[in-house]
Amino acid sequence: MKRSVQEINKKISRGQATVLTAEEVTRMVIEGETPTVEDVEVITTGTTGIMSGTAAIIHLKIDEPGSFKKAKKIYLNGVPGFPGPCPNEWLGSVDLTIYGTANSVHDPEYGGGFLFKDLIAGREIEISVETSQGELITTTSNLKDMATAKMIGTRMAFKNYTAFVNPEPQSVSSIFHAIEMEGPFKGLSFSGCGELNPLENDPQMKTICMGSKILLNGSEGLILGTGTRSSLNKPNLMLAADMHNMDSHYLGGFKTAVGPEIYDSVALAIPVTDQRILEKTFIRNSDIKLPVADIKGRHMPLGEIDYGQVWEDSDERPQYHPENCMNCVNCLVKERCPTKAFNQGLDVKKCFGCGMCAYSCEYGTCQMNIGSVELKLQQGEFEIPIACRQSDLKRAREISNLLKKRIEEGNFYIFEC
């Protein structure tokens, strides 16, 4: 049986479409029930993780027209932006681009990811502009006052990821770990949401193309095409969406050993037009290989594991046990928490489920099963604890279910490639 996207959209409009998440389909297959094209119209997928290629294009008013010629430099909460390309001469407003990985000039732990979360949460932002005439203008603004605020992801939702370890005794700083990675083989850092990842469920991009609709941090957006560094074997996507419609829950800053990064959440719908499309979504975590590389070499695999080893039977979030806290002068949990979720207690809304708290506190204040992996190398076999997850499966599940709900309610339609 084959069906068209138009037929699927008609069912969506009538509230008759059967929608399943990629995990729900895989669970059915594991339990011995193999769905057919007659059983389901749409599969939703999702991923949340570090997405360094994130930027925002913003237009905001600074002062009255005629008050300054144009902006030379601009800072939002101390995070530098790049004025232009439009000079907006004498208009009192500024066009700018700002990176999710940019660092505040005031706070080395605050960057673009934290700024974007603050903006989308509705918080007031401090603006500082150095004009071309050498004047300094300071003001405040918020997202509602910004006529334009678009998020662009130059490379998002990678199909293929690499996990990292440090085989050497000297610690190594990297964006791929929340702290300096200790060695040898004292911890593993990884990214990717496995069987829920969009491009794992349509690896040949039969239903994913330029113009396809997506959810980016909860806002309906578009695929602009393949992203930078994308290839047939290792594809990723370039995405865009309006920040005004985003939910701050789905994005934020993430501290690493070399400065703040940004995490985002992406959901994508796969129309089930034939059985072959559907069967691609049967993929399991254990089917998806995850190369393990030296964090310094990055592209030189030392071995290979799979997503079943890093996600199955693991906890989504830590359990907080304040009775175990020793009130250390230098609290490693507070110091290392990538999303600033720990400060005299655990803020579950900010928590990313990375596992750094459980890895860092020897007294069991934060307890979490994040597991370990067995790695076979020429030097021998190593059991390596997972130290840092740079993807959040809980949020990925939430955004894939959000997309499922929107489709079921007739509020999201499928683009035909």
Quick: pLDDT tens for 17-62: 999 999 999 999 999 999 999 999 999 999 999 999 999 999 999 9
Asked, for residue 90, whether it belongs to a domain, the answer is yes
What integer pLDDT is reported at residue 298 of this predicted model?
76
Beta strands 289-294 and 301-306, pairing class: antiparallel
| The token pair that represents 36 in the structure block | 């057919």
Assign 235 to helix, strand or coil.
coil
User: pTM of the entire structure?
Assistant: 0.96
Asked, for residue 99, whether it belongs to a domain, the answer is yes
240 in Cβ contact with 82 (< 8 Å) = no
Is 297's pLDDT higher than 90?
no
Distance, CA of 213 to CA of 239 (rounded, Å): 9
Tell me what the mean pLDDT of segment 188-194 comes to.
98
How many domains, in total, are found in the chain? 1
Distance, CA of 274 to CA of 267 (rounded, Å): 21
Is 378's pLDDT higher than 80?
no
What integer pLDDT is reported at residue 406 of this predicted model?
98
CA 188 vs CA 67, 286, 339, 392, 398: distances in Å = 54, 18, 19, 16, 25
> In sequence order, what are the residues at sequence separation of 6 or more whose Cβ sits closer than 8 angstroms to the Cβ of residue 29?
35, 282, 284
Assign 21 to helix, strand or coil.
strand
What integer pLDDT is reported at residue 283 of this predicted model?
97
Distance, CA of 37 to CA of 33 (rounded, Å): 13
| The token pair that represents 240 in the structure block | 């865009």
Report the percentage of the chain scoring pLDDT > 70: 100
Top-ranked range on mean pLDDT: pick from 260-269, 318-327, 379-388: 260-269
Tell me what the mean pLDDT of segment 338-363 comes to.
94
Asked, for residue 111, whether it belongs to a domain, the answer is yes
Q: How far apart are the first and last CA of the chain?
A: 19
Distance, CA of 262 to CA of 354 (rounded, Å): 14
Chain-centroid distance of CA 332 in Å reads 24
Distance, CA of 389 to CA of 359 (rounded, Å): 11
What integer pLDDT is reported at residue 343 of this predicted model?
85
Tell me what the mean pLDDT of segment 359-383 comes to.
90
| The token pair that represents 210 in the structure block | 């330029």
Element (H, E) at 163: strand 163-165
Asked, for residue 205, whether it belongs to a domain, the answer is no
Is 416's pLDDT higher than 80?
yes
Task: State which residues form the domain around 114.
Answer: 54-149
Asked, for residue 100, whether it belongs to a domain, the answer is yes
Asked, for residue 241, whether it belongs to a domain, the answer is no
283 in Cβ contact with 296 (< 8 Å) = no
What integer pLDDT is reported at residue 218 of this predicted model?
98
Tell me what the mean pLDDT of segment 182-189 comes to.
95
Is 1's pLDDT higher than 90?
no
At 10, the pLDDT band (50, 70, 90 cuts) reads: very high
Tell me what the mean pLDDT of segment 97-116 comes to.
97
Element (H, E) at 164: strand 163-165
Distance, CA of 289 to CA of 132 (rounded, Å): 53
Distance, CA of 371 to CA of 373 (rounded, Å): 7
Beta strands 188-190 and 380-389, pairing class: parallel
Query: Within a 10 A sphere around the Cβ of 37, how many other Cβ atoms?
Result: 17
Asked, for residue 350, whether it belongs to a domain, the answer is no
What integer pLDDT is reported at residue 379 of this predicted model?
74
Is 7's pLDDT higher than 80?
yes
CA 369 vs CA 255, 313, 347: distances in Å = 22, 8, 19
Asked, for residue 256, whether it belongs to a domain, the answer is no
CA 148 vs CA 53, 57, 64, 237, 241: distances in Å = 20, 7, 18, 23, 11
Q: How does the average pLDDT of the chain come out, rounded?
A: 96
Convert the pLDDT of each residue in 208-223 to its tens digit: 999 999 999 999 999 9
What integer pLDDT is reported at residue 144 of this predicted model?
97
Element (H, E) at 280: helix 275-280
**DSSP string covering 69-135:** S-EEEEEETTEEEEE-SS--TTSSEEEEEEETTPBPSS-TT-BHHHHHHHHHTT--EEEEEEETTS-
